[in-house]
Amino acid sequence: MKNVVTAFVVSQGEELLTGLTVDTNANYLCDRLSRLGLRVMGASTAGDRLEAIAQALAHAASHADVVICTGGLGPTEDDLTAQSVVRAFGGELVLNEVALRQVVARYARIQAPMSPTNRKQALLPLGCEVIENPLGTAPGFAVDVAGTRLFFLPGVPREMKRMVDETVADDIAARYALHPPLRHTFRVMGRGESQLQEQLGSVGERFPGITLGFRTRMPENHVKLEAAPDTASWEQGKAWVRAQLGDDCFTEAPGEELAAVLGRMLVSRGEKLALAESCTGGWIAHLVVSEAGSSRWFERGWVTYSNEAKAQEVQVPTALLDEHGAVSEEVARAMAQGCAREAGVAWGVGVTGIAGPGGGSPEKPVGTVWIAVRGPSGTHARRLGLGRDRTSNRRFSAWIALEMLRRQVLRAGGFGEADQEIP
C-alpha cells in the first residue's frame, strides 16, 4: 500500500466571502495538487479576521502534509496572513532581509515609488523560507510546522500560478515520493450525462481501479477516467470507452476545442469554410477564429441579421424570405449555399433562428432554430427546438452547427488521404 501524501487548500480574503470575487485559485490548486499525486483532503476560505485565518491554518495543518494558502500578503491592514501564522503556530514576525531585497528590487524594476507601508510585505515569520514572486511585489514564504509544510502565496492568480510552477511544485516533488494518478478525458457531443452514465457506468466493474466522472459544458459532455498509477487495465479501459463513444467523441487531446478538430480536418482536406449567421450573430465565427491558424481553413463570414442582409450578402431569394420567413429550412439552406458560393469555398454553414426573449409565434416559438450545412455531397438541414433563454439558445445553435459540420466532413471522408493518421 502506497503512502498517500495529503494536502489542504486555504483561501484568504473578505471579498471571497462577500461574493465580490470568485475564488479561482482553490480550483486551480486542487487540480494542480491532484495531478502532482497529492490527495486534497479539504479546502477552506477565511475572511479578513486574524482569528478566522489562524483557525483555518491550524485545522489545515492538522489534516494534511502540505498546505497552500493564497491571499493576504499585500501591504494593507487587511493583509493578515503573516500575523495569522504567528497566531496559529507561535513564533514572531521579523523584517526578512531576503524578502525586503526582493520587494525593493521589484519596485525598482517597475519604476514605481516604494512607500514605507510596502516594507510590511517583508515582515514575515521568523525562520520562514522566502519564495520569490517574479510578477508582483508580495513575496511568498514557506514554514514547517510539526511535519506539515505550509506555503503562503499571493492571491493574484497570475502571480500565484507562476510561483507554483517555478518553486512550489518542485519543492513538493523533491520532498515526497509522489504517484500521480492516470487521467484521461473524452469530449463528446450528442449524448447526455444520464445516457453516458448508463452506457459507461460499468467501466469500474469491467476494469477494476478505473473511476468514471462527468463534466457538462452544455451541449458538450466530458467523460473523465481516473486510476491509480500502474493500474493494469488502464489502456484496455480507455479502449473500451473509446469504442462505446465512437464518432460522438470529437477529441481526446487535452484542451482541444470542437473548432480545432474541424480545422485539422479541413486543413488536411485542403478545404475552407464560410459562415452565414443570423441568431448566432458571429458566435460561430468567433469560435473558429479563436483557433490559431484559422486563416488556413476559414475564408469569411457574414452576420446577416436583417432580411436585407440575407438577400444582398448571401443571395437568399427574397421570394423565399417572403414565403417561408427568415426562420425556415429554405432560408437556412439558401444561406449555407449562398455563403459558400460567394466565398468560393467547399463548405458553408447557415444558421437562422429565434433566440428570444421576443420574436416567437405559435408556429415558430422562441428557441426555433434552423441550421444548414453545405458540403461536397449536398446540403443537410436540421431544426432545433430549444428553450427560452437567449444565451443558451445561441450557444447551443453555435455548438450544434459546428458539430453538424464535423459530421458532414466525417461523412465526406474525414481527414484527407495524406493525414489519416493524425492522432
How far apart, in whole angstroms, are the C-alpha atoms of residue 285 and residue 82? 49
280 binds a copy of itself (CB under 8 A): yes
Least distance (Å) from a copy of itself to the CB of residue 393? 11
Q: Is the omega angle on the peptide bond into residue 357 within 30 degrees of 0, that is, cis?
A: yes
Q: How far is the CB of 294 from a copy of itself (least distance, A)?
A: 7
C-beta of 206 vs 296, nearer to a copy of itself: 296
- Sheet strands (E) in 233-364: 249-251, 273-277, 298-303, 347-353
Among 72, 356, 367, 375, binds a copy of itself (CB under 8 A): 356
Task: Out of 286, 324, 364, 382, name the contact with a copy of itself by CB under 8 A.
Answer: 286
Neighbours of 288 (CB within 10 A): 23
Applying CB under 8 A, does 98 fall inside the site for a copy of itself? no
- Phi and psi for 288 in degrees, rounded to 5? -65, -50
Among 90, 134, 208, 213, binds a copy of itself (CB under 8 A): 213
Task: Report helix angle 307-314 to 329-343, nearest 10.
Answer: 40
| Segment holding 417, helix H or strand E | none
Per-residue contact string for residues 307-346; x = within reach of a copy of itself by CB under 8 A:
-xx---x-----------------------------x---
56 binds a copy of itself (CB under 8 A): yes
Rounded to the nearest 5°, which phi and psi values hold at 382? -145, 145
> How large is the C-alpha radius of gyration of the chain?
27
Q: Which is nearer to a copy of itself, 22 or 253 (CB)?
A: 22
Residues 6+ apart with CB under 8 A from 352: 278, 279, 310, 326, 327, 328, 331, 332, 335, 369, 370
Long-range contacts of 23-26 (CB under 8 A, 24+ apart): 24/157, 25/70, 25/71, 25/155, 25/157, 25/160, 26/70
Q: Could you give the dihedral angle defined by the CA atoms of residues 125, 131, 132 and 134, in that order, rounded to the nearest 10 degrees?
A: -120
Report, in Å, the least distance between residue 303 CB and a copy of itself: 4
Q: Verify binding: residue 361, a copy of itself, rule CB under 8 A.
A: no
Position among 5, 26, 258, 369 found at the interface with a copy of itself (CB under 8 A)? 26
Provide the minimum distance between the beta carbon of 64 and a copy of itself in the complex, in angstroms, as a whole number.
11
Site for a copy of itself in 99-128 (CB under 8 A): none
Of the candidate residues 128, 164, 265, 279, the single one contacting a copy of itself (CB under 8 A): 279
Q: Does 284 bind a copy of itself (CB under 8 A)?
A: yes
What's the closest the beta carbon of residue 321 comes to a copy of itself, in angstroms?
Answer: 14
* Residue 18 within binding range of a copy of itself, rule CB under 8 A: yes
> Interface with a copy of itself includes 52 (CB under 8 A)?
yes
Q: Per the structure block, which three cell numbers stand in for 129?
A: 523560507
Closest alpha carbon to 276 in 220, 353, 363, 219: 353
Of the listed pieces 99-107, 287-295, 315-323, 367-375, which binds a copy of itself according to CB under 8 A? Answer: 287-295
Indicate the residue among 40 and 372 with the shorter CB distance to a copy of itself.
40
**The dihedral sign for the CA sequence 49, 54, 60, 66:** positive
Asked if 64 and 110 touch (Cβ cutoff 8 Å), the reply is no
Window contacting a copy of itself (CB under 8 A); options: 26-34, 315-323, 346-354, 379-387: 26-34
Does residue 283 bind a copy of itself (CB under 8 A)? yes
- Identity of the residue, 177 or 292, whose beta carbon is nearer to a copy of itself in the bound complex: 292
Nearer to a copy of itself, 246 or 255 (CB): 255
